[in-house]
Amino acid sequence: MRPTRIAAAGLVAIAALAAPALAEPDFWQVAGVPANDVLNIRAEPSARARQTGALANGDLVRNAGCRDTAAGRWCRIELLDEMGGSGWVNAGFLREGRAPGQSAHHSRARMWRVVNVGPNDVLNLRDGPSPRNRIIGALAEGDMVRNLGCSQTGDGHWCQVQLTDEMGGTGYVNAAFLRRSR
């Protein structure tokens, strides 16, 4: 009876090795993030790693591969928007997504937060994508704007933004001072 168990266990092991690996999707969609919260993008596959950005429910990202760690499953993702970038997110908040253009959730106009502005300073809102353009307004740390698109110019990476106040005006800011919010 004992040789049969060993033989059966050996067949199971061989079958497991011969089975194809589960294919991962090309795109992920963020899902299951609690209301009024975001999925943090991390520099490394760990909740203790430096936060480099954030995603909201419904956001689409490109799958750059997943791995299991002692703290759970993490996936490397690539952002699909004008800002680009990549990082690691907890796989528990990802589900298979469709390619851009096939989903109603993929949009260029996302909400972004103003960051890296000193406590006694402002981010200049300009009438064109250059530090030489006229200042038409100012934004403070934490202000929210709608990102209408970004581009690389001879003067750096600039984004056209729409203000979220009742005026809803538009202007340009240096992309280094924006982070995805929701």
Distances (CA, A) of 16 to 12, 42, 69, 114: 6, 33, 21, 50
Residues 123 and 175 in one domain: yes
State which of 96, 124, 155 marks the end of a domain: 96
pTM flag (> 0.75): no
Is residue 6 domain-resident?
no
For 94-134, write each residue's pLDDT tens digit.
998 877 764 333 334 478 889 889 889 999 999 998 999 99
Mean pLDDT of 85-92: 91
Q: Which of 11-15, 25-29, 72-76 has the lowest mean pLDDT?
A: 11-15
Mean pLDDT of 71-80: 90
Is residue 168 domain-resident?
yes
Q: Which two tokens stand for residue 160?
A: 């056209």
Distance CA 40, CA 88 (A): 8
Is residue 56 domain-resident?
yes
DSSP 8-state symbol, 33: P
Q: What is the domain extent for residue 26? A: 21-96
| CATH number of the domain that residue 133 is part of | 2.30.30.40
Residues 79 and 122 in one domain: no
State which of 63, 96, 129 marks the end of a domain: 96
Residues 67 and 92 in one domain: yes
Is residue 9 domain-resident?
no
Sheet arrangement for strand 27-30: 51-55, 39-42, 86-90, 72-79, 60-69, 27-30, 94-96
